[in-house]
Amino acid sequence: MGESSDILCSVEGAIARVVFNRPDARNAFTFAMYERLASFCTEVGAMPDMRAMVITGAGEKAFAAGTDIAQFRAFKSPEDAIGYEERVGRVVETVERCAVPTIAAIAGACTGGGAAIAAACDIRIAAGNLRLGVPIARTLGNCLSMDSLARFAAIIGPARLKELIFSARLVEAEEARAIGLVHEIVPEVANLMARAEAVARTIAGHAPLTLRATKEALRRLAQDGRKAEDHDLILSCYLSADFKEGMEAFLAKRPPRWRGA
């Protein structure tokens, strides 16, 4: 699929996989990696048989430690700064808008842009060695875009987000679960991917139109509030062959055979 060695993208059956593959650099992102992630999310969303996607980092030390600092050395103008945030924002939004449910399997450091990508995923499963945060107040001295702040605040609330950024600390696994940053903890890193794959298989067995409509409805709700349009989402489910199949299967007391149509 035109992948580079720094980011590995693959499809097996109904499940897509992304691996950030720069373990020696704590899987820090190059601009090319950001672009490949966005393009693969778009590709997966257009594949009718895709049902879930797992995103992870190579090795045990990091999911992704943000953008590779070397990428910033050429910054000289206002356009460089605004263009960078717009580029990363577009990529993260593409992850968020991916038509299939996304699962972040997070081991080790998950910081900066890596944390933004994890926050855009639907489900976050962490290893016991998780350290997650946005420590920019003690590292680069940059700031987050409005979109990134809104996404984090929707998960943990503005007050807790301010404390996290102001203190520049990294949240460990148990606290991350307690405040809603991750959904589940797998104590041993060696078992993380097996659990993420199991969750992906469970999701892959459920009604895909229901999952897609739910993802999009919640995205619209976050953006436009309760006045967001939902008629197209309702019709996409209720007028589908899958809805008819679900009714027939329920009445016949058999498992439904979902086709995503």
pLDDT tens, position by position, 202-243: 999 999 999 999 999 999 998 899 899 999 999 999 999 999
Tell me the three state secondary structure of residue 174. helix
The Cα angle at residue 196 between residues 201 and 182, in degrees rounded to 5: 125
The confidence score (pLDDT) of residue 18 equals: 98
The Cα angle at residue 161 between residues 156 and 163, in degrees rounded to 5: 130
Residues 106 and 147 in one domain: yes
The confidence score (pLDDT) of residue 68 equals: 87
The confidence score (pLDDT) of residue 75 equals: 84
Instruction: Please tell me the total number of residues recorded for the chain in this structure.
Output: 261
The confidence score (pLDDT) of residue 134 equals: 95
Residue 91 domain-assigned?
yes
Straight-line distance from the first to the last Cα atom of the chain, in angstroms, rounded to the nearest whole number: 26
The confidence score (pLDDT) of residue 76 equals: 84
The confidence score (pLDDT) of residue 2 equals: 45
5-22: b (≥16 Cβ within 10 Å) or e: ebbbbebeebbbbbbbbb
Residues 51 and 150 in one domain: yes
Residues 123 and 247 in one domain: no
Residues 132 and 240 in one domain: no
Residues 16 and 127 in one domain: yes
Nearest Cα to Cα of residue 12 among 42, 54, 63: 54
Rounded Cα distance between 140 and 203, Å, is 38
Nearest Cα to Cα of residue 91 among 126, 64, 123, 52: 64
Predicted model pTM: 0.93
Rounded Cα distance between 161 and 159, Å, is 5
Residues 213 and 234 in one domain: yes
Residue 260 domain-assigned?
no
Residues 216 and 135 in one domain: no
Residues 215 and 184 in one domain: no
Provide the domain count of the chain.
2
Domain span at residue 110? Answer: 7-204
Residues 236 and 172 in one domain: no
- The residues of the chain scoring below 50 in pLDDT are 1-2
Residue 261 domain-assigned?
no
